């Protein structure tokens, strides 16, 4: 695990809500492609259910991070692509199962017109820094 420094409210910037403005780290950079609500067999999990999709996406992120020797503690940035901002509550709940509030990474949330297939409600990518 890399040593990370979080700066939730840089001088002159409004305090962050549900994310950290700046995360600094030294080590090996890990980029995880946007994950979708697919199980290990490629089947959609939770069609029409944002909570089920969010849980599956975070489980996929956890597995991808682990494959690179990383964990959610190493994540410095998450990007949420959602078809409806109303699904952010489900995403935050799933994120809370993996990342405590005092270790929140930097984050961006973007509403998109569509994802690669219509049954997907969200796609989430992660960037992490792990000790060399």
Q: What is the mean pLDDT of residues 100-117?
A: 96
Confidence of residue 3 (pLDDT cuts 50, 70, 90): confident
pLDDT score, position 2 = 66
**3-state DSSP percent of the chain in helix, strand and coil, to 5:** 25, 30, 40
Determine if the pTM surpasses 0.85.
yes
pLDDT score, position 1 = 60
pLDDT score, position 93 = 98
pLDDT score, position 8 = 87
The torsion of the CA quartet 88, 2, 64, 7, rounded to 10 degrees, works out to 10
Confidence of residue 109 (pLDDT cuts 50, 70, 90): very high
Instruction: Please write the tens of the pLDDT for every residue from 10-31.
Output: 999 998 888 989 998 889 999 9
pLDDT score, position 24 = 85
Instruction: Please write the tens of the pLDDT for every residue from 44-89.
Output: 999 999 999 999 999 999 999 999 999 999 999 999 999 999 999 9
Q: Is the model's pLDDT at 131 over the cut of 90?
A: no
Measured CA to CA, the distance from residue 18 to residue 41 in angstroms comes to 32
Interacting residues of 95 by C-beta distance below 8 A, sequence separation 6+: 54, 58, 78
Residue range 18-130, CATH number: 3.30.1330.40
């Amino acid at each position: 695990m890399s040593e990370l420094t979080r700066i939730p409210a840089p001088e002159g910037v409004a305090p962050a809500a549900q994310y950290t403005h700046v995360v600094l780290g030294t080590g090996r950079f890990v980029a995880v492609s946007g994950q979708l609500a697919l199980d290990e067999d490629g089947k959609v999990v939770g069609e029409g259910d944002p909570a089920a999709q969010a849980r599956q996406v975070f489980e996929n992120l956890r597995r991808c991070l682990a494959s690179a020797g990383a964990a959610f503690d190493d994540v410095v940035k998450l990007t949420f692509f959602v078809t409806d901002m109303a699904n952010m509550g489900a995403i935050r709940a799933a994120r809370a199962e993996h990342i405590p509030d005092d270790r929140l990474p930097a984050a961006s949330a973007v509403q998109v017109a569509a994802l690669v297939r219509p049954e997907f409600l969200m796609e989430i990518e992660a960037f992490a820094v792990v000790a060399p």
